[in-house]
Amino acid sequence: MTDSTQRIAPLTHLTEDEQMLKDAAAEFADTIIKPKVQEMDEAAKLDPELIKTFFEMGFMGIEVPEKYNGGGGTFFMSILAIEQISRVDASVGVFMDVQNTLVNNAFLRWGTEEINERFLSQLATEKVGAYCLSEAGSGSDAFALKCSAKEDGDHFILNGTKLWITNANEADIFLVFATINPDAGYKGITGFIVERGMEGFSISKKENKLGIRASSTCELLFEDVRVPKENILGDIGKGYKVAIETLNEGRIGIGAQMIGIAQGSYDAALAYTQERKQFGKAISDFQGVQFQLAQMAIELEMARLLVYNAARIKEAGQPFLKEAAMAKYYSAEVAEKLSSMAIDLFGGYGYVKEYPVEKFYRDSKIGKIYEGTSNMQLQTISKIILNG
């Protein structure tokens, strides 16, 4: 018989390595990133020195094997780091999120040994990556691509545009999805590795955004860009598989970003309500405020459990599509709700840039949009549960 009083390790229990990385990311966020947040938000640009430090700290190649100069960590460790960074600045959080959960993961899963030796070592140590799928006419309908790739000897020639590309200004390595045969639909899509400096490739308009302003979001132009065949990631015509399966993992990363925003909002509200005095006492002494703080704590914990659960299932090699969709959907809801509640608790101070909660609120909105809108997550979940 087992002892009925034996303590069961909670889902949030961390191994020693996971705890060490979480602590390192939290300290980095609080000491290095936090003093730069407002300046980067107003300038709508990441501090170049901060980018260098990210590589030096190993945050840009957490899951990359050591043989490629990476950290040799796990997917879950990436999730922990993204959460802690986003707790202070979601712009910086998504910068490392795209690198780890989209770009690096795509190479890890689909890259040949030769490709990974060429590119993963650079992604882990010095070069930023970008994931290039969206176009003007392909958002939720991700595979309605117009960007084309025409075979020409030992190269493919790319023409077209990409929109909403995160990390575009900082990136040197771009994973670009284009169609080699429009008549074949999604079966014509192929993944190409485009490098900054290739003739005909340029970075165009930078979007002026509501939130995550320091994160660059740009349009890319391809005008007869010659890409060698050895720069194909995955099989020709199987780019749809690379794209969709990588996005499934990336949605857990967005979930981590959102719970980071929610945690930052909650922390700010908790501290402020204990400091702010009205009617002769801290406003946290009023039951109405206490109930709001309790509600925030409950919803934050639920969102975190969904994100951690999806990450653990993915890491165990089990099907995780439904769990990833649930985690992204709910964490985005919670981030927006808690950041709004935090503004309410701050009162007029919550509406000004001197305090962090107005930025949390602006940053939270993107969670319902990128890497699959909330409606698309609901569609995914409903299809799975209806099909058993």
Helix (H, G, I), strand (E, B) or coil at 291: helix
Euclidean distance between CA atoms 18 and 66, whole angstroms: 17
CB 241 within 8 A of CB 234: yes
Listed in order, strand segments (DSSP E) in 35-153 are 128-132, 148-152
What is the chain's Cα-based Rg? 21
For 177-201, letters b (16+ CB in 10 Å) and e give bbbbeeeeebbbbbbbbbbbebeeb
Of 84, 95, 184, the residue nearest 131 (C-alpha): 95
Place of tokens 């993107």: 366
Catalytic residue, candidates 219, 323, 333, 371: 371
Torsion, Cα of 80, 85, 87, 91 (10° steps) = -130
Structure tokens at 63: 């899951």
Q: Can you name the residues that pair with 221 across neighbouring β-strands? A: 161, 202
Structure tokens at 227: 């890409």
CB 213 within 8 A of CB 44: yes
Euclidean distance between CA atoms 112 and 78, whole angstroms: 23
Euclidean distance between CA atoms 169 and 220, whole angstroms: 10
Euclidean distance between CA atoms 329 and 338, whole angstroms: 15
- CA angle at 191 for the pair 189 and 193, rounded to the nearest 5°: 150
Is 371 part of the annotated catalytic residue set?
A: yes
Q: Can you name the residues that pair with 222 across neighbouring β-strands? A: 160, 201
Q: Give me the amino acid identity at 369.
A: I
Dihedrals phi, psi of 10, to nearest 5 degrees:
-70, 165
Q: Which residues are catalytic?
A: 371
